Amino acid sequence: MPDSDTALTIGQVAERTGLSVHTLRFYEREGILTHPVRRDGGGRRLYTEHDVDWLTVCVILRASGMPLPAIRRYTELVTAGAGNEAERLTLMRQHRERVTNQIAQLTRSLDLINYKVGVYEDILGA
Amino acid sequence: MPDSDTALTIGQVAERTGLSVHTLRFYEREGILTHPVRRDGGGRRLYTEHDVDWLTVCVILRASGMPLPAIRRYTELVTAGAGNEAERLTLMRQHRERVTNQIAQLTRSLDLINYKVGVYEDILGA
DNA sequence: GCTTGACCTAGAGCCGACTCCAGGTCATAC
DNA sequence: GTATGACCTGGAGTCGGCTCTAGGTCAAGC
């Protein structure tokens, strides 16, 4: 059972999060990690399970269209610790609205797409 | 009642489709129109209601994430006329799958977002 | 002792989809 | 006759989000 002491290489984290090693380094530069990554003697990154959990959250936020600056801001708030929950809530609510709007828009688009699929199926089925 | 003879300027089309005049010219260069736009004596574009209808379809396809090359291909098929419905169907089905996957992904992301919103609401409400 | 492979940095490059710019034409309003 | 404003072209610039390159370190296996 992996506990929070487990040290993971960047390659292992890439595999677990689905991000490339390039993207992991890029996210770090962009301030998308709650604390600087530990390094081994040779300067190599050592990630924890905690980092993987955080990155997994970030992956989900990205996948739902949250821009990197917003994720960075959220990261900053989490890093700063308790006391800023109001802003975190605002951020999440804003994002929730974007996402629900996006789902609504996609669902509407689906009507047209289904209609077109139906038209072509009819033509080909006749 | 606007019929198919109505001539619209690029500005009017921009207003109706929600695209900018820049984007309309760009789409034309990209082959996103079923036929070359008519021009008046001074070389200005004259669109028809038919063009607006087509562009409206394109806007919906774009909004649901269809890449411009796919829209161009679809345009080519429609321009070529009857006989290629099988490929049009394939294109639309592929896109439908992308869209339904995207909706599913967004809906899953929404679980996390709602969870986070709930956490912060609890903290702030207590 | 040398090859291999995973890692490091700083910085350049790429891609999609616009978006804007410079410099010009033309019709209408004053 | 001139100013305004909508339009034209070709081409450059922007932006977000990666993605890759060059050149290097280091540990383990043979």
DSSP string, B1-65: ---TT--B-HHHHHHHHS--HHHHHHHHHTT-SSSPPEE-TTS-EEB-HHHHHHHHHHHHHHHTT
Q: Lowest-pLDDT range, A105-114, B37-46, B64-73?
A: B37-46
Residue B105 contacts A, CB cutoff 8 Å: yes
Mean pLDDT of B74-87: 96
Fold of B1-81: Multidrug-efflux Transporter Regulator; Chain: A; Domain 2 (1.10.1660)
The pLDDT value recorded for residue A5 is 65
- Round the average pLDDT of chain B to a whole number and report it: 94
Question: Has residue A4 got a pLDDT over 90?
Answer: no
Place of tokens 């034309």: B28
The pLDDT value recorded for residue B1 is 44
Does the beta-carbon distance from B109 to A85 stay under 8 Å?
Answer: no
In sign, the C-alpha dihedral spanning A107, A108, A113, A118 is positive
- Chain A hits for B92, Cβ within 8 Å: 113, 116-117, 120
d(CA A52, CA B125): 30
Does the beta-carbon distance from B105 to A63 stay under 8 Å?
Answer: yes
- Chain A hits for B99, Cβ within 8 Å: 106, 109-110, 113
The pLDDT value recorded for residue A81 is 93
d(CA A62, CA B46): 41
Residue B92 contacts A, CB cutoff 8 Å: yes
Does the beta-carbon distance from B103 to A103 stay under 8 Å?
Answer: yes
- Chain B hits for A92, Cβ within 8 Å: 113, 116-117, 120
Q: Residue B121 — very low, low, confident or very high, per pLDDT cuts 50/70/90?
A: very high
User: Is A67 in contact with A75 (CB distance < 8 Å)?
Assistant: no
Residue B121 contacts A, CB cutoff 8 Å: yes
Question: Has residue B78 got a pLDDT over 60?
Answer: yes
Q: Tell me the shortest Cα–Cα distance from B17 to chain A, in angstroms.
A: 15
User: Is A69 in contact with A33 (CB distance < 8 Å)?
Assistant: no
Mean pLDDT of A59-80: 97
Burial of A85 (0-12, 13-18, 19+ CB in 10 A): middle
Residue type, B109: S
The pLDDT value recorded for residue A6 is 80
Nearest-by-Cβ selection for B109 from A64, A89, A105: A64
Q: Residue B5 — very low, low, confident or very high, per pLDDT cuts 50/70/90?
A: low
- Chain B hits for A58, Cβ within 8 Å: none
The pLDDT value recorded for residue A36 is 86
Helices B21-29 + B10-17 axis angle, to 10? 100
Q: Residue A3 — very low, low, confident or very high, per pLDDT cuts 50/70/90?
A: very low
Does the beta-carbon distance from B92 to A121 stay under 8 Å?
Answer: no
Q: Tell me the shortest Cα–Cα distance from A38 to chain B, in angstroms.
A: 27
pLDDT above 70 coverage of chain B, percent = 96
